[in-house]
Structure 1
Amino acid sequence: MLFSYFASAIAAVISSATLVNSLGTSCSTPLGAGTAAATDPFWMQNIKHQGIAAFNPSPSSYQVFRNVKDFGARGDGVTDDTAAINAAITAGSRCGGGSCGSSTVSPAVVYFPSGTYLVSHSIIAYYYTQLIGDARHPPTLLAAASFSDIAVIDVDPYIPGGNGAQWYTNQNNFFRSVRNFVIDVTRVPATMSQGTGIHWQVAQATSLINIVVNMSPAANTAHQGIWMENGSGGFMGDLVFNGGKFGMWVGNQQFTVRNVTVNNAQTAVFGNWDWGWTFQGITINNCQVGFDLQTGGGTATQTVGAEAIIDATVSNTPIFVRTSQASNGKLGGSLVLNNIHLNNVPTAVGVVGGAVVLAGGTTTIASWGQGDVFKGTSATGTFTQGNIPAANKPAALLDSSGRIFGKTHPQYGAYAVSQFVSVRDQGAKGDGKTDDTAALKAIFAAFAGCKIIFFDAGTYVVTSTIQIPAGTQIVGEAWSVIAGKGAAFQNINSPIPVVQVGAPGSSGVVEISDIIFSTIGPTPGGGAAGTNLQVGQCPSSGSGGTTNCMAAYAGLHLTASSSAYLEGTWVWLADHDLDSSGQSQISLFSGRGILSESAGPVWMIGTASEHHTLYQYNLVNAATHYLGLIQTETPYYQPSPVPPAPFTVNASFKDPATWSGISAAWALRVTTSTDIIVFGAGLYSFFQNYGQACLTPENCQSQIVNVDTTSSVHIYSLSTVGTTFQLSVNQAGVINQSSNPNGFAATVTSWSQS
């Protein structure tokens, strides 16, 4: 079972989730295989589009879905379609141009039918935008020979004459998705770096999916697939880069990358800076360097702090990983390599200048690390450039090739329009006001397992628990919202879920994509427009109080009989109001982030949980979990009040019973659990009661990760900010951050029980 007591103002953004062991469906005619004809376009093109932006100033006239051909784009490979595409994106007073920092009231899906779209300038993606191509026949975005902008797709333009200022604050550049494109920059002269596919400077709730970038393979090429100079991400997956100087040129606090192939580039991945990245399922063919990492910088010159790479195959590439500086017996950029297959790769790990740290060849690297390795309750780590403890990987976590299992984002490209059912056609309103509970329950009863349920764009208010049966496939439009409201969710002593997937004794698969689960406050038993949890009600001063600013009891609960594949999922309690002119901070309260009691398998790939009172991730009696990369932030108001306040300990939710000496939320807590693999973690504590003086002595909180002695856990590439102890055992601090400085963060390369 999966219970979800989803949090606050944009609390849980489900990009892609597959859940099993669910409520049974009574569907008499199962959905079966897709029936789209070979010549049919992607279902999204022809399905009726009647989604609304519920809190837009003009909801009746605002257009959520836009087909670029309706705005004059030709897609013939000859006509310059730049103006038409950007007109489709900007129509309707949307958030862009440098005068709007963020907004939730003007979402848009900008759809590209199959074709070749010639562009001479950047396609500029406004805030809260999905750019989606035909998934059956992906369209090509073809850069003209005269193309001279920063990239074919730009999600955060620089303001001319702005001394480096950009449209959006990079750490708050949320809600972006680009899917199903071939981006071709081969006409741009090879020597021009303007031959860049995507300028992707983003934060959470963002994704790049199913994209191919074709670049010049010339020896003097300056082309780049992705250019990312900063941000706070994020997830991307199912990407291919051909040619170019760099497949990916990336710098961002943290990111998860899954299933990426780079062919015939000079450098597959150039890492400029980070606190921690996880790369899963990487294929590199015929490049000069696989990963070229800028390392060794201090706090003022942050470089690549931590890189964790799992399940890679590298062929005919002279150097797999190259760092800019030698570590020389101390941490100067953490590196973890796990299950790396090398074919004709002479140097596995080297340093600029030619020094070889780890020889290559045709071989497999099982588990190797560079950095500080800790075991058990020892406070002293060992700097290592060599083999490190290997986690046990239960077969249930692996695919047939022995890699960590991965799943592409559900897009239903093989399905015909007739195999979908619209919730608005079946009586749900999605207007942010009408109680849609009865309508949604009737829709699930009638169509779960029979049709793919399409949540037209909108905000669907529910006043009691919505149960999602087995066999259900749900897809949203521009991040459709299901929002819990009312008395049923207001009893803090008897919390109930807004959405429940699962019942004892039933089984099946449920897929949920492009859905936001939210609440309309106060919902102590459950800041964007419509939540009643914005700066006007709940300013950071705390004048809104706790009762009226309680957003949720908990975020996500995976119960013992469940299994889940979560990708690009963000369980967020809002720390600022996305619809205020200054993105003002707010004080909201959500009791718990993600609780898993699942016996597995569970995959959490590119997930985050932020600002919940007691914990962000809590694994209790759990087994067979893969988590990489996880990201957290501690509530900004703590330690005022000290947890568990304003909530109380609830044993049925496996809350920590003892809080003596603990003044802030746990980022990760693991109790009586087995075979837990954490492959990358960025766990941050930036504030004490909204002040940041604690960052310099790194004591915004004393402890942040706790593992008990009965659990079998391996943690790799653990980076923390603002906490004295990076890891505790039985709630006693063990690893002090002072032992592991690594730029702005501190990094533990490997920790295991033994």
Structure 2
Amino acid sequence: MTDGKRCGERCNGSTTKNAIVYFPPGTYLISTTIPLPYGTQVIGDAINRPTLKAAAEFVGLGVLSTDEYTGEGGSGIDGNDPQYYVNTANFYRQIRNVIIDVSGTGSDSETACLHYQVAQATSLQNVELVAAPGSKQIGMYAENGSGGQISDVTFRGGAKGIYGGNQQFTAQRLVFDGCAVGVQVIWDWGWIWKSITMKNVGVGFKLVSDDGSGNIGSVSIMDSSFSNVSAAAVLIGPPSSKPGSGSTGVVLEKVEMSGVAAAVKDTSGNVLLGSAGTIDHWVLGPVYEGSATARSFSNGGKIGDYRRSSVLVDGDGKYFEKERPQYEDRGVGDFVHLKDLGAAGDGSTDDTAAFQAALYSSQGKILFVDAGSYILTSTITVPIGTKIVGETCSSLTSLSNPKVMLKVGNAGDVGDIEMQDLIFTNRGPTAGLILVEWNVEASTPGSAGLWDCHVRIGGATGTELTPAECPPVTSGINSGCNAASLMFHLTSSGSGYFENMWLWLGDHMIDDPDLTSSKNDMVQTSIYAARGFLIESRKPTWLYATASEHAVFYQYNFNKAKNIFAGMLQTESPYYQPTPPPPAPFEAVVGEFVGDPEYNCASGGDFSGCDESWAVIVRESENIFVGGAGIYSWFSTYSQDCIDVHACQKTLLLLESNKASVRFQNLITIGAKYMAVMDGHGILATDNLNVDTHPSWSQISILDVSSSGAQFDNMVWIDPAIWKMDQPQFTCLPPCHVKIPPWTGATSTVNYPLLTVSAGAWTSTITKAPLTISEVVFKPVTLTQGANGKFKRQNAGAPLWPEPAVTPSWPAVVYNGPDGSPTTTAPTASFPAPPSSVGPDAAPPPTGSWPKRWIQPMFGPEDSPLVPDCSYFDFDCYDEMKPWLYGGLGGEDSSDWDFDENWADATVTCDAATTTSSSTSTTKSSTKTTSTTSTQTVEETPASSPLASGDPTENKLKCYNGGAKTEHNRLDGAAADFCNGLGHAGDVLKPGFVKTRTFQQNFNGGVGIINIKIRFEIEDGCEWKWDYGECRHYLTIPV
């Protein structure tokens, strides 16, 4: 552990002394605690885990310890007993693939398998902690810290599986078996417990300290199960609605109970929640239901009608998770060392070309980034199919300005990318730097993701952004310390799975300059980065255990985002603000990125954001679920006198113009007057004060963010596969609003009315071919039942014959008037009424038949079978697409369209002979119509010659009209970018205008580049008024 002058006793931190300590299979007898130096990764064999067994005469607090008490008198920097490291700054650690067994020590000893005091950028995975049943032994003793993430840990036997407290933490996929108490939390602010299995325990979660000195702020327990629990699944102190009383906020969501004495019980013996069946949603604590003034205190029960987005859950209705891949099924030959491919990693050599070439040449293998610092002077693109594993958090260091350092996929890329154990950093004042731009869309849930990857700007040796260059200043601005424009950008085309990611702009120097003193003084620094984490994704995305700290404008910004799971989120505001106040020192670049705050500072006010950075911004977003958030403001120009009086800053969260189903669960704030401002109305921290002692945190159990429309997006989209069942049926959790899939077994035709149009003396009649109705869309169905929060599957009642929906309008047409200008119009007559029923008494359709059997609704704890919203034709999906054009989509009102015509196809291939069809569907229509068909013949593709050897990035293949394959999303994305770049609303393009763009995309499934070329020209005698929707319409025709 200590070989190589590691950072142990008298060293409070280091970024240059990291190490991996590998344990081969075997049993290791341990007689005293093994301290783990700063930056240590303990890794055992993933296939045959080693066992660290405490000897009978073992002496120490834990077999492994991440932070040792020194035994010196006095107190440390945090006011507690002196230790090797400040527990809230004990970063960059991992333990995985080990078994720790203390069952052989004395049964009366409180020996722990693991003493675990950690902070951000730490993880624990695939670990088993074994204690003797009926003993006083402990699995994990974790009395302090600011984490962090643990996952896939099993606790067996002992008095307590976990005993401890932490500011905020994320725990996933833990198993507790045979512990007297599964988890005893002695203090916390917020903790997410996800996918927990509790069995054969006395108490599952004991949220009470031993002596009553600590306060437990909140816990979220979700997607978990309890079985054979003799006392209570959750034990808490008596709840109180009085602000400052220390009442614990509790949220139980999708929790199964079997053989449990009580689900929730307090220490006075009151049973707050019984224990039968599945708990859908149960909340204790302050809640806000869609308004800053709609506050109440829930004493237990379901709040609102929030429904999980179907694209964010697995087959069991639980929020999706993916274990960090360890590639234990891959052979040694499947790993490629970056340094073997020409990269130096010495912190001085330019490794840009070598690293980029390695990413291409390692396709199909795992690229192992050997420990080191790799200098990058221009953008690196990570292609589809890449798998990267770092060694002790290998660092990628940018010297570029202003550029993207690491671009993960290109816009329109769909596929798989996995990255882990990397640090993204920079050197010196790179003010325009974007450290990571994530463009790739995951082809399947979790197929594009990163684990244990972090951004670190400054505060470390070699960054040239240390207290020497950027001292902590209480007036003015440090010159030469503008370090970045944006830490991480999840673009609108991207999606992915992100677990244990910390975006950190240095507030202090990690590396200890004095290795002879045991003092843990951390020297502060004033460094500036404009933005933290910008999230624009609208595809399924998961953020587990992420944090973003100390950026000037914001830490998190959800801008027009959709379908996001996040928890735990954690933020800190810059310590130097409001000196200078935002947007300084980046005033000149406000608005350079979408979603930037508007700084109207002249008007003042509590909600301007002109004093300190926004912790979290959520604007124009929908279906965002934040399972827990710790949002902190600790300083005002380096002074902490502001904390307990809520005066470090005015407001932390900006929530504005959002749509349905944006929910925060267990929101914790510290140091601000207002927890949040929601559409102009503030939520005072003192209204939700949890404790009136330092640090006087505030807590809200449920905050349903106000919506511009319906509060919840709770429509359940049933899979069309039900029509193939012998007895069509579905299950939903009541109350449920159900979208019945269209019936495609019957067709009919409708004559399109003659349209007479005129302008002055000019008159013309428009004639269109009949419409073929190939899908009958049904009205939504609402099913209700008295809800008590617990459900078992049962018949929902009478058989359901769905009722066809009415088509409210005809598809529109575009014609050119006498002056040549386009005009959109549609028939004003009512669309013919659909049949009133498709049941047994309905008249038969002109062609085909109606369903032979009814639909049987069932009530149960999970909605099934489901498909994502708008997976089939339905008029509710086209509200933003008016007017709807006969023969296609387009029109002047379509500039804000957001659609994917080929939702059913992940890829589109061009065969030698292709049949194409022109189809139309109407907004709020019950029909899908087809007007023309044609056949196109393409010459057969000749066999391609083998690729020449050489640099794979230079490979080219001319494949126009040759049957080559690529993703529709790439072509559609290129078309969208091209149209956006042509102009703006109101622009008129004149004769002679020509624009040509070439979009380069990495070739999926191999190496090389695909060039997508688009050319636009205005010919003589013509002009065109820029219209994004019309441009997209014509460019998508060849696609």
Instruction: Return the offset for 1:639.
Output: 1.0
CA separation in 2, counterparts of 1:165 and 1:657? 45
CA separation in 2, counterparts of 1:545 and 1:656? 21
Aligned equivalent of 1:110, options 6, 21, 33: 21
Instruction: Describe the superposition over 1:217-276 as per-residue Cα deviations: whole angstroms up to 9, x where unpaired.
Output: 12xx11111101111111111110111111111211110101101001111110100111
Residue 880 of structure 2 is matched in structure 1 by: none
CA separation in 1, counterparts of 2:305 and 2:95? 36
Residue 492 of structure 2 is matched in structure 1 by: 560
Residue 629 of structure 2 is matched in structure 1 by: 681
Q: Which moved more, 1:517-526 or 1:572-581?
A: 572-581
Instruction: Return the offset for 1:389.
Output: 2.5
| Matched ranges for 1:202-601 at <5 A | 202-218=118-134, 221-294=135-208, 301-330=213-242, 332-361=247-276, 363-379=277-293, 381-387=295-301, 388-447=303-362, 449-485=363-399, 488-489=400-401, 495-526=402-433, 527-541=459-473, 545-581=477-513, 582-601=521-540
Equivalent pair of 2:474/2:637 in contact (CA under 8 Å) = no
CA separation in 2, counterparts of 1:710 and 1:175? 36
Residue 172 of structure 1 is matched in structure 2 by: 89
CA separation in 1, counterparts of 2:305 and 2:82? 45
3-state SS of the aligned residue for 2:367? Answer: strand
Instruction: Return the offset for 1:330.
Output: 3.5
Residue 1029 of structure 2 is matched in structure 1 by: none
Aligned equivalent of 2:11, options 79, 96, 100: 100
Residue 182 of structure 1 is matched in structure 2 by: 99
CA separation in 1, counterparts of 2:71 and 2:196? 37
Q: Structure 1 vs Structure 2: percent identity of aligned residues?
A: 39
Instruction: Return the offset for 1:659.
Output: 4.3
Residue 719 of structure 1 is matched in structure 2 by: 668
CA separation in 1, counterparts of 2:340 and 2:474? 42
Instruction: Return the offset for 1:390.
Output: 4.7
3-state SS of the aligned residue for 2:686? Answer: helix
Instruction: Return the offset for 1:580.
Output: 4.0
Distance change (3 Å), C-alpha of 1:161 and 1:383: same
Greater relative CO (CA pairs within 8 A, separation 6+): 1
Instruction: Return the offset for 1:477.
Output: 0.4
3-state SS of the aligned residue for 2:201? Answer: coil
Residue 888 of structure 2 is matched in structure 1 by: none
Instruction: Return the offset for 1:325.
Output: 2.1
Instruction: Return the offset for 1:365.
Output: 1.0
Q: Which moved more, 1:541-550 or 1:240-249?
A: 541-550
Equivalent pair of 1:95/1:101 in contact (CA under 8 Å) = yes
* Residue 139 of structure 2 corresponds to residue 198 of structure 1: no
Instruction: Return the offset for 1:632.
Output: 0.2
Residue 615 of structure 1 is matched in structure 2 by: 554
Equivalent pair of 1:620/1:654 in contact (CA under 8 Å) = yes
Instruction: Describe the superposition over 1:579-626 as per-residue Cα deviations: whole angstroms up to 9, x where unpaired.
Output: 143320000011111111101211110100000111111011111101
* Residue 660 of structure 2 corresponds to residue 728 of structure 1: no
Residue 81 of structure 1 is matched in structure 2 by: none
Equivalent pair of 1:634/1:667 in contact (CA under 8 Å) = yes
Distance change (3 Å), C-alpha of 1:542 and 1:364: same
Residue 52 of structure 1 is matched in structure 2 by: none
Once superposed, what is the RMSD of the aligned Cα atoms? 1.7
CA separation in 2, counterparts of 1:139 and 1:255? 27
Equivalent pair of 2:186/2:210 in contact (CA under 8 Å) = no
Instruction: Return the offset for 1:710.
Output: 2.8
Equivalent pair of 1:589/1:612 in contact (CA under 8 Å) = yes
Instruction: Return the offset for 1:354.
Output: 2.0
Residue 123 of structure 1 is matched in structure 2 by: 34
Instruction: Return the offset for 1:284.
Output: 0.5
Equivalent pair of 2:532/2:551 in contact (CA under 8 Å) = yes
Instruction: Describe the superposition over 1:164-223 as per-residue Cα deviations: whole angstroms up to 9, x where unpaired.
Output: 3111111111111100001111111211101x11100111111111001111112xx111
CA separation in 2, counterparts of 1:523 and 1:435? 16
Distance change (3 Å), C-alpha of 1:606 and 1:659: farther
Equivalent pair of 1:310/1:339 in contact (CA under 8 Å) = yes
Q: Which moved more, 1:692-701 or 1:466-475?
A: 692-701
Instruction: Describe the superposition over 1:311-370 as per-residue Cα deviations: whole angstroms up to 9, x where unpaired.
Output: 111111134444442114446111111111111112110012422111113x11111111
Q: Which moved more, 1:662-671 or 1:384-393?
A: 384-393
Residue 79 of structure 1 is matched in structure 2 by: none
CA separation in 2, counterparts of 1:652 and 1:575? 24
Equivalent pair of 2:474/2:579 in contact (CA under 8 Å) = no
Distance change (3 Å), C-alpha of 1:659 and 1:573: farther
Structure showing greater radius of gyration is: 2
Equivalent pair of 2:411/2:494 in contact (CA under 8 Å) = no
Equivalent pair of 1:90/1:126 in contact (CA under 8 Å) = yes
Residue 27 of structure 1 is matched in structure 2 by: none
3-state SS of the aligned residue for 2:56? Answer: coil
Which TM-score applies when normalising by structure 2?
0.61
3-state SS of the aligned residue for 2:473? Answer: coil
CA separation in 2, counterparts of 1:542 and 1:417? 54
Equivalent pair of 1:296/1:325 in contact (CA under 8 Å) = no
Instruction: Describe the superposition over 1:408-462 as per-residue Cα deviations: whole angstroms up to 9, x where unpaired.
Output: 1121111111101101011101111111111101111222x32100000000010
Instruction: Return the offset for 1:696.
Output: 2.5
Residue 833 of structure 2 is matched in structure 1 by: none
CA separation in 1, counterparts of 2:180 and 2:360? 54
* Residue 692 of structure 2 corresponds to residue 692 of structure 1: no
Runs of at least 5 residues in structure 2 that lack an aligned partner in the other structure: 75-80, 434-458, 514-520, 602-607, 712-1039
Instruction: Describe the superposition over 1:703-738 as per-residue Cα deviations: whole angstroms up to 9, x where unpaired.
Output: 1111113333111100000011112113x3421011
Distance change (3 Å), C-alpha of 1:445 and 1:583: same
Equivalent pair of 2:620/2:656 in contact (CA under 8 Å) = yes
3-state SS of the aligned residue for 2:673? Answer: strand
Match of 2:643, as an amino acid?
Answer: L
Instruction: Describe the superposition over 1:522-545 as per-residue Cα deviations: whole angstroms up to 9, x where unpaired.
Output: 110121011000110001026894
Instruction: Describe the superposition over 1:280-337 as per-residue Cα deviations: whole angstroms up to 9, x where unpaired.
Output: 1111011011100027999xx4411111111111111134444442114446111111
Equivalent pair of 2:652/2:674 in contact (CA under 8 Å) = yes
CA separation in 2, counterparts of 1:431 and 1:256? 35
CA separation in 2, counterparts of 1:722 and 1:345? 40
Equivalent pair of 1:182/1:212 in contact (CA under 8 Å) = yes
Distance change (3 Å), C-alpha of 1:175 and 1:317: same
Instruction: Return the offset for 1:691.
Output: 1.1
Equivalent pair of 2:553/2:614 in contact (CA under 8 Å) = yes
Equivalent pair of 1:296/1:333 in contact (CA under 8 Å) = no
Equivalent pair of 1:314/1:345 in contact (CA under 8 Å) = yes
